[in-house]
Amino acid sequence: MVTCLIGLGSNQGDRVGNLLAAIAALGEDPAISLQAVSSFVESAPVGGPAGQPNFFNGAAILATSLPAQALLTRLLDIELRLGRVRGERFGPRTIDLDLLLYGEQVIESPTLQVPHPRLRVRRFVLAPAAEIAGEMLVPALTDAEQRVSIETLCARLPDPAPSELGLRVIMSAAAMQRHVREIQLSGRRVGVVPTMGALHSGHLSLVQEARRRSDYVVATIFVNPTQFAPHEDFTKYPRTLDADLSALSAAGCQAAFVPSAEEMYPRGATTTVDPPEVALPLEGVCRPGHFRGVATIVLKLFHLIPAEVACFGQKDFQQALVIRRMVADLNVPIEVVVCPTVREADGLALSSRNRYLSAAERERALALSRALRQAEQSIQAGETESNRIVSAMRETLAAAGITSIDYVALADPETLAECSHVEGKTVALIACRVGSTRLIDNCLLDPTIDAGSAKRGAVRA
- Summarize as ranges the residues that interact with a copy of itself (CB under 8 A): 173, 177, 181, 269-278, 292, 295-296, 299-300, 303-304, 306, 325-326, 328-333
CA distance linking residue 25 with residue 79, whole number of Å: 10
- Sheet with 437-445, edge to edge strand ranges: 404-411, 426-434, 437-445
What is the 8-class DSSP label of residue 95? -
| 449 Cβ neighbours under 8 A, 6+ residues apart | none
| 30 Cβ neighbours under 8 A, 6+ residues apart | none
| Cis bond before residue 45 (omega within 30° of 0) | no
Question: Phi and psi for 307 in degrees, rounded to 5?
Answer: -75, 165
Least distance (Å) from a copy of itself to the CB of residue 424? 18
Question: Phi and psi for 371 in degrees, rounded to 5?
Answer: -60, -40
Q: Is 280 exposed, middle or buried (0-12, 13-18, 19+ CB in 10 A)?
A: middle
CA distance linking residue 452 with residue 456, whole number of Å: 8
Which residue type sits at 310?
A
Q: Is 231 a residue of the active site?
A: no
Least distance (Å) from a copy of itself to the CB of residue 288? 15
The nearer residue to a copy of itself, 173 or 389, going by C-beta atoms, is 173
For 202-245, the three-class secondary structure string (H helix, E strand, C coil) is HHHHHHHHHHHHCCEEEEEECCCHHHCCCCCCCCCCCCCHHHHH
Question: Given 200, 203, 231, 290, which residue is catalytic?
Answer: 203
The nearer residue to a copy of itself, 60 or 180, going by C-beta atoms, is 180
The nearer residue to a copy of itself, 307 or 367, going by C-beta atoms, is 307
Least distance (Å) from a copy of itself to the CB of residue 186? 12
The nearer residue to a copy of itself, 98 or 308, going by C-beta atoms, is 308
The nearer residue to a copy of itself, 92 or 259, going by C-beta atoms, is 259
CA distance linking residue 443 with residue 349, whole number of Å: 11
The nearer residue to a copy of itself, 209 or 308, going by C-beta atoms, is 308
Whether the CB-CB separation of 432 and 364 falls below 8 Å is answered with no
| 438 Cβ neighbours under 8 A, 6+ residues apart | 353, 406, 431, 432
Query: Three-state DSSP class for 348?
Result: coil
The nearer residue to a copy of itself, 162 or 333, going by C-beta atoms, is 333
Least distance (Å) from a copy of itself to the CB of residue 292? 8
What residues are labeled active site? Answer: 203
